[in-house]
Structure 1
Amino acid sequence: MRIHRNLSFAVIDGLTLIFNEGKYADKVIQQLLKRDKRWGSRDRGFVAETTYDIVRWKRLYAEIAEVKAPFDRDNLWRMFAVWATLKGINLPDWKYFENTPTRKIKGRFDELSQIRKFKESIPDWLDEVGEKELGAEFWTKEIAALNEQADVILRVNTLKTTKEKLQAELFDLNIETEFIKGYPSALKLKERANVFSTEAFKNGHFEVQDASSQLVAEFANVQPGMRVVDTCAGAGGKTLHLAALMENKGQIIAMDIYANKLHELKRRAKRNGAHNIEPRAIDSTKVIKKLYDKADRVVIDAPCSGLGVLRRNPDAKWKLQPEFLDKIRKTQQDILQQYSKMVKADGQMVYATCSVLPSENQEQVAKFLKSEAGANFSLIKDKKVSAHKSGFDGFYMALLECKA
């Protein structure tokens, strides 16, 4: 494999923004890919995957390169050299790579691979939390799985097409997919491809959504004609799935504290042909109180640490701080206490997170059930999805019923 100068410069520029200016990796990469219209899919793939790779393994590569944050450009070139060496790529004769100690890099890698926090490239505090909550054996397997590149999974929009029809439509574009057992609306890409440029996407035949995330709407056990409240709807990935499961019948009230996300949901709903969604911004407690005892189903896709989705957001482990975990646990319990009041008698509620930590998941549900607000609720079932067992994102979901 040959390394091209302009692509390598794009990677270094991207890493500067991510590591030194705190920019989000996905947004930075989106901008980088627009830099040169002459780049083909292979060039764009190199920029995106190399940037994500170095972000994912930042701690390991920095330790091997003997550099410390904040990283100047020379430091970043040294980390790039570590990445290339470990990938078995011959370094070009550029000044940035002069005196790169190839043998020493491989030796250091073997040495540091014996220590989990270096091998899996995570902060000390996060390694300690993971081991404490999940146990050493489980955490070692889970964090290794969360460092693997995520597959591209599509959710078929059954309001407009079927899984079989979409598979055939994509096959005609040389995009091969396969069904996933146990995930009724999912198609997995056999190879990465730019699916967003297809007519199938523009016509609303699918959304890109991880297989684990697709389980949440299924878990809510919705039926056509129900009144469903999606309380932390965001840009609406799960809302759109609920609309499809309800066959566009009934009402989905999609709520969020961020009005701009609901604007994006409106746009996506139009493309998906989902007509039973009503966005409502939570700008005061009145919005919640108006719905007390009115919902057949309440879905709480709660804000969380996001540890279960590190494969697609590898920079999150560098942005996450211990104090945020304490804060988010309080927020999760507050949300459960308030939003549960919208469930009517004999109605049901789903509490879900994309975290693998019990303190954000089953412990929050147990705490809620012991509280005054949870007195009328009972746990019907819950599901813990781990990345190393499922091959997809780490998730948790609990289905609770409000007794009459």
Structure 2
Amino acid sequence: MRLHRNISFAVIDGLMLIFNEGQYADKVIQQLLKRDKRWGARDRAFVAETTYDIVRWKRLYAEIAEVKEPFDRDNIWRLFAVWATLRGIKLPDWPYFENTPTRKIKGRFDELSKIRKFKESIPDWLDELGEKELGNDVWTKEISALNEQADVILRVNTLKTTKEKLQAVLFDLDIETDFIPNYPDALKLKERANVFQTEAFKDGHFEVQDASSQLVGQFLNVEPGMRVVDACAGAGGKALHLAALMENKGQVIALDIYGNKLNELKRRAKRNGVFNVETRAIDSTKVIKKLYDTADRVLIDAPCSGLGVLRRNPDAKWKLQPEFIEQIKITQQEILQQYSRMVKSGGQMVYATCSILPSENQDQVKAFLDSEAGQGFKFVKDNKILAHTSGFDGFYMALLQKK
């Protein structure tokens, strides 16, 4: 493989923005990919995957390259040289790569790979927290799985097509997919492809949604004609799935504190042919109070650390702080206490997060059930999904029933 100057420069520019200006990797990469109209699919894939790779392994590469943050441009080139050397890519005769100690890089890699926090490239505090909550063996396997590149999983929109039909349509576009056992609406891409350019996507025949995330909608036991509240709907991935499971019958009320996310949900609903979703921005407590004791089902997809989705958001490792996790746990319990009141007698509620930490998951459910508000609920079942056992994102979901 040969390195090309203009695409290598794009990676360096992107890393400067991500590491030094705190910009989100996915947004930076989106911008980089529009940089040169002459780039083909392979060039764009190189820019995206190399940028994500160096973000993912920042701590390990910085240790090998002997550079410290804040990184200047030369430091970033040194990280890039480490990345290329460890992949067996011959470094071109460019000034940035002068005196790169290739043999020393490989030696340092072997040495550091014996220490988990370097091998898995994570902050000390996160390594300690993961081990404390999950135990040494499980954490070692889990953080390794969370450093692998995520598969691209589609959720078939059953309002418009079937899994078999969509698979055939994509096959004709040279996009091969597999069914995933026990995931009724999922198709997994055999190779990464830009599925957003397909007519099938533009016509609302599928959404991109990880397999673990797809289980949440199924877990809520919705039926056509029900009144369902998605209390932290965001841009609506799960609300759209609920609408499809309900065959567009009944009502899905999508709530969120961010109106702009709900606007995105409206656009997606239109494309999906979904018309039983109503959006309501939570601009005061009245919005929740009006719904007390009215919902057959309530989904609380709570804000969380996001540790279960590090494979697709590797920069979250560097943005996340221990104080944030402590604060978000308070928020999770407040949301449970307040939003659970929307469930009517005999109704059900799912509490879900994309975290793998018991303190954000089963501990929160236990604290809720032990509280005054939780006395009216009984625990039905839960599902703890870890990336190293499922092959998909880490997730948690608990089903509770109002007595």
Please tell me the TM-score bracket, short chain as reference: over 0.9
Give runs of aligned pairs for residues 100-119 of structure 1, distance below 5 A: 100-119=100-119
**Once the 2 structures are TM-superposed, how far is the Cα of residue 263 of structure 1 from its aligned partner?**
0.2
Mapped partners of 1:77, 1:144: distance in 2: 26
Q: Is 1:124 aligned to residue 124 of structure 2?
A: yes
Structure 1 stretches lacking a partner, 5+ long: none
Mapped partners of 2:10, 2:366: distance in 1: 48
Structure 2 stretches lacking a partner, 5+ long: none
Mapped partners of 2:283, 2:146: distance in 1: 35
Give runs of aligned pairs for residues 161-200 of structure 1, distance below 5 A: 161-200=161-200
Q: Is 1:265 aligned to residue 240 of structure 2?
A: no
Q: Is 1:367 aligned to residue 367 of structure 2?
A: yes
- Partner in structure 2 of residue 345 of structure 1: 345
Q: What TM-score does the superposition give when structure 2 sets the normalisation length?
A: 1.00
- Partner in structure 2 of residue 99 of structure 1: 99
Q: Is 1:291 aligned to residue 291 of structure 2?
A: yes
The amino acid that maps onto 1:83 is W
- Report the secondary structure of 2:375's partner residue: coil
Mapped partners of 1:378, 1:62: distance in 2: 49
Give runs of aligned pairs for residues 50-61 of structure 1, distance below 5 A: 50-61=50-61
The amino acid that maps onto 1:198 is T
Mapped partners of 1:182, 1:358: distance in 2: 25
Q: Is 1:244 aligned to residue 248 of structure 2?
A: no
- Partner in structure 2 of residue 23 of structure 1: 23
- Report the secondary structure of 2:254's partner residue: strand
**Once the 2 structures are TM-superposed, how far is the Cα of residue 251 of structure 1 from its aligned partner?**
0.2
Mapped partners of 2:329, 2:213: distance in 1: 20
Cα deviation code 1:266-301 (max 9, x no counterpart): 000000000000000000000000000000000000
Mapped partners of 2:310, 2:362: distance in 1: 20
The alignment's C-alpha RMSD in Å is 0.2
Give runs of aligned pairs for residues 58-69 of structure 1, distance below 5 A: 58-69=58-69
The amino acid that maps onto 1:388 is H
- Report the secondary structure of 1:375's partner residue: helix
Cα deviation code 1:1-50 (max 9, x no counterpart): 00000000000000000000000000000000000011000000000000
Q: Which 4+ runs in 1 deviate beyond 3 A?
A: none
Mapped partners of 1:158, 1:134: distance in 2: 37
Q: What TM-score does the superposition give when structure 1 sets the normalisation length?
A: 1.00
- Partner in structure 2 of residue 329 of structure 1: 329
Mapped partners of 1:352, 1:69: distance in 2: 35
Q: Is 1:396 aligned to residue 396 of structure 2?
A: yes
The amino acid that maps onto 1:159 is L
- Report the secondary structure of 2:92's partner residue: coil
- Partner in structure 2 of residue 83 of structure 1: 83
Mapped partners of 2:256, 2:358: distance in 1: 25
Cα deviation code 1:116-162 (max 9, x no counterpart): 00000000000000000000000000000000000000000000000
- Report the secondary structure of 2:44's partner residue: helix
Cα deviation code 1:349-390 (max 9, x no counterpart): 000000000000000000000000000101100000000000
Name the count of aligned residue pairs.
403
Q: Is 1:203 aligned to residue 203 of structure 2?
A: yes
